[in-house]
Structure 1
Amino acid sequence: MLASLVLPALLALPGPSLAIAPGDDDPIVVTGQRMTRGEAHQMARAYTRAVLAAPQSDQNARWAEPLCIGAIGLRAEVAQPLIDRIEATARQVGARVAKGQCQPNVMIAFLLDSDAAFARLERKRPDLLDTTRRDERRTLGQPGLPVRWFYGQVVEGLGGRGVGPDAAGLGGAPGALMDLPVLNQGAASRINSPAQVSIKGVTVMVDVPRISDVPFDTLSDYLAFGILSRTRLDAEPEGMSIMSLFSPAAAATERPTGLSDLDRAMLKALYKIPINRSAAVHRNQMASEMIKEIAAVQ
């Protein structure tokens, strides 16, 4: 469905991060500031609040099934390294990646005019945005965005059992991608729920003219972060983060070059902690895991 909307536009395309000492009692140095572990935990909590989208059904969504990434608008020899890097990041943080030929549940479209493409999609196929909140749709509709992404998700039983209604977007009708070339290698308690909120599909629109000065690997990491977690498109976390890549306040020389320690630690925590915890408990545990993860690699 998305492909039928964006292909006409595509035809117009020409042929110092966080450092933690190992001891529990040692102070933590964050971008030149010494702080206690309690202060570092609060910093990690603030980071998750800044980057993660508002919980739905009181959970933070993530992937439960393997990712299968497709790309349109790029030559195969250009798209393949981008897909490989995103897949490598997914494996590193604990997400699963489909092997061999697969049906895409992630589609990255490289466009000359993403504003017009999204406006057309919103007008012609609003059902593709059924699981997108109203405030998120307002953000997506803003002109001038270098990258847009939106998600299809479902509430389902743990491990993907007892799937509810089909997700919107790619998750709802993957066959609608038609025959596009896909490049791919390959019990309830107070804090637990018998269900999980799972991402089933992600659609990404990249505006080629607006990302022309961004290094390829940096763009790949930015897209990976947005694909692997239900991320606020307008996230502005404090400190180093790949999500500041397109921040108006950041000069070109201050742009991140890849995932920061905080970014990578958050993704690992997201895929490590049981997903069926309530959102508040989940984010608190994520902050603790982030600090432990960063301490372990320093």
Structure 2
Amino acid sequence: MSAKSVPFSLLLAATASLGSGLAPAQAQQASSGEEIEVIGRRQTEEQARKEANDFVRRTVSTGSDDPLARWVTPICPAVLGIQPEYAAIVERKIRALAKVAEIDTAPAPCKTNVVVSFTTNAPAVVQRIARKSPRRLAEVQIPDRPALLNGNAPVRWWYTTQETSVDGISAVASDGLAANGGTAEGGGSSIGNGLPTVQAYSSSIVRTQIVRALRSATIVIDVNRAQGVPLDAVAAYAAMVAFAEMKPVQTPPPNSILGLFAPDAQVASATDWDISFLKALYSIPAARAGWKQKRMLVGKILKDSEAAGQIDDNEDLTEGLSEPGK
């Protein structure tokens, strides 16, 4: 995807921060030497459980039975549409957050599978792709298309995925063609009229017969709509939606970088919840029904929060914190 190069004077300095009163929970060094600040806060166990359920409900895009898609190959990001020095900042941030979340990245040079494109007119860019290469958006759900093509969100994204059997054999459509094709440069979903079929050799009643994986992620950032937001924070937002199959943000979790563009935003970097969610996603079994994986996600997020000392029984520590969605 091409986009006209945009000078990033429209955004604030890359290291600027938003909000106040949020103490860093931890700072970890990436291989590039960049310091990654993860924002956290303390809360009661009851509140943590409620927020973990709310976090998963608001972010995970798959239906109740579909396994969650994640990367099974190393991530290779490319940043387009801005000057090279700014593009390098964004790519370093994505790679650094991947390291913190324990997600594999491919050393450069590599074959791009995550595209982050900056533009002054995101709807026009997506509409042009839809006209010229409709297969690239083939997996976007019909209810999500209006917002993707004509919405006013500062950031919009979509994915291509692939399905394999639990034995690692690619899903095949009934006409013999690959069921899910495409990369960041092109491709789509099912080919042909038949439903995908797979060869499976497992008789397990616990495992699913299908494993879903991400093949590409495309993130389009509208510079005009993101005006005034730090580049570093925008990069963290892009990383979050690149690493997992996220639904379009309607009401983002209040404890996530996905709330960056909310009117009362109080985040400027990936939060402890974001990192816990990503680590959990990449640690749970891939061959499980989506509803079961969501329960696993909630349990692992809570366990991670407890281990990090972010769950506290002292009610005074959470006084004044709002309930999710308020």
TM-score category of the 2 structures, normalised to the smaller one: 0.7 to 0.9
Q: CA deviation at 1:90?
A: 1.4
Q: Matches of residues 1-298 of structure 1 in structure 2 within 5 Å?
A: 3=1, 6-7=2-3, 10=4, 13=6, 34-36=44-46, 40-55=48-63, 58-158=66-166, 161-162=169-170, 164=172, 165=178, 166-170=180-184, 172=186, 187-247=202-262, 250-251=263-264, 254-298=265-309
* Contact 2:135 2:186 (8 Å CA) reproduced: no
C-alpha change, 1:289 and 1:105, in structure 2 (3 Å) is same
Find the aligned partners of 2:156 and 2:65 in 1 and give their Cα distance: 23
Please give the per-residue CA displacement for 1:27-84, whole angstroms capped at 9, x wherever unaligned: xxx9776443xx6334312210111112386111111101111111122211112111
User: Secondary structure at 1:209's aligned position in 2?
Assistant: coil
Find the aligned partners of 2:281 and 2:219 in 1 and give their Cα distance: 21
Counterpart code for 1:113: N
C-alpha change, 1:160 and 1:203, in structure 2 (3 Å) is farther
Please give the per-residue CA displacement for 1:118-157, whole angstroms capped at 9, x wherever unaligned: 1222222221111111122122123322111100101113
Q: CA deviation at 1:116?
A: 1.1
Counterpart code for 2:101: V
User: Secondary structure at 1:156's aligned position in 2?
Assistant: strand
Aligned-residue CA RMSD in angstroms? 2.9
User: Secondary structure at 2:245's aligned position in 1?
Assistant: coil
Find the aligned partners of 1:193 and 1:127 in 2 and give their Cα distance: 27
* Contact 2:7 2:82 (8 Å CA) reproduced: no
Structure-2-length-normalised TM-score? 0.73
Structure-1-length-normalised TM-score? 0.79
* Contact 1:129 1:169 (8 Å CA) reproduced: no
User: Secondary structure at 2:94's aligned position in 1?
Assistant: helix
- For structure 1, list consecutive stretches of 5 or more residues without a partner in the other structure: 19-29, 174-186
* Contact 1:56 1:197 (8 Å CA) reproduced: no
Counterpart code for 2:228: D
Counterpart code for 1:283: K
C-alpha change, 1:162 and 1:169, in structure 2 (3 Å) is closer
- After TM superposition, the structure 1 stretch with the greater mean CA deviation from structure 2, 116-125 or 198-207, is 116-125
Select the structure that is richer in helix: 1
C-alpha change, 1:282 and 1:255, in structure 2 (3 Å) is same
Find the aligned partners of 2:226 and 2:242 in 1 and give their Cα distance: 18
Q: CA deviation at 1:297?
A: 1.9
* Contact 1:17 1:260 (8 Å CA) reproduced: no
Counterpart code for 2:92: D
* Contact 2:243 2:278 (8 Å CA) reproduced: yes
Q: CA deviation at 1:113?
A: 1.0
* Contact 1:131 1:168 (8 Å CA) reproduced: no
Q: CA deviation at 1:158?
A: 4.2
* Contact 2:80 2:117 (8 Å CA) reproduced: yes
* Contact 2:206 2:288 (8 Å CA) reproduced: yes
C-alpha change, 1:258 and 1:127, in structure 2 (3 Å) is same
* Contact 1:112 1:209 (8 Å CA) reproduced: yes
Find the aligned partners of 2:203 and 2:49 in 1 and give their Cα distance: 27
* Contact 2:113 2:183 (8 Å CA) reproduced: no
Q: CA deviation at 1:194?
A: 3.8
C-alpha change, 1:285 and 1:171, in structure 2 (3 Å) is farther
* Contact 1:57 1:197 (8 Å CA) reproduced: no
- After TM superposition, the structure 1 stretch with the greater mean CA deviation from structure 2, 221-230 or 75-84, is 75-84
Find the aligned partners of 2:144 and 2:206 in 1 and give their Cα distance: 27
Counterpart code for 1:86: I
